[in-house]
Amino acid sequence: MKPVWVLDTNVLVSAALTAGGTCDHVLRAAIDGRVTLAWSAPMLAEYREGLLRPKFKLSPSAVSALLAAFDPAHQVPVGVAPALPDTDDETFLAAALTTTDQILVTGNTAHFPAEICRPAKVLTPLAALKTISIGA
C-alpha cells in the first residue's frame, strides 16, 4: 500500500523553485504514484497563494500544473489540530491526523513540535524519501 503524506507549503514551493532538489523528488514520488498526497481545501488555497507570490515568479499555468498533483480523490475533511506555535500550520497537522499514515512532510520541523503533533509523524523531505526508498 502506498504511503499517504501531507505536504507543508514550503515543500511544494521548494519543489517548484529547485528542479532536481529533495522537495522536487518528494513531489515526483507523488506524481509517479509511489505516494498519495492528502490535502484539504484550506491547504490547497494556501498552496495556491504561496506559489503565486510575486517573489517566486511562477506563472499561473505552472502553479496549476503543480496543483494537479493533488488528486480530488484524496481530499480530506477539514479537521482540528492541537495549537501550534504558528496557527497557520494547524491546517496541515489536522489533515495529517485524518490520514491512515499520519505523516506530515515539512522543511520546518521546528514549527511542528513532536510532543504536540503525536501521533502524527513529522518528517523532513529527505527523511520522507528515505521511507519510500527503504520500502521499495
The per-residue pLDDT for range 8-61, each reduced to its tens digit, is 999 999 999 999 999 999 999 999 999 999 999 999 999 999 999 999 999 999
Question: Would you place residue 136 in the very low, low, confident or very high pLDDT band (cuts 50, 70, 90)?
Answer: very low
Give tens-digit pLDDT for 50-74.
999 999 999 999 999 999 999 999 9
Q: What is the mean pLDDT of residues 73-84?
A: 95
Alpha helices (runs of H) in the chain, residue ranges in sequence order: 9-17, 22-31, 41-51, 60-67, 90-98, 114-117, 125-135
Q: How many CA atoms lie within 13 A of 46 on its CB side?
A: 16
The residues that bridge with 63 in the sheet, in sequence order, are: none
- Distance CA(102)–CA(79), nearest Å, equals 13
Q: Give the residue from 108, 1, 91, 93 showing the smallest Cα distance to 47.
A: 91
**DSSP code of 89?**
G
By three-state DSSP, how is residue 5 classified? Answer: strand
Architecture of domain 4-135: 3-Layer(aba) Sandwich (3.40)
Ordered by start, the domain boundaries in the chain are 4-135
**DSSP code of 39?**
B
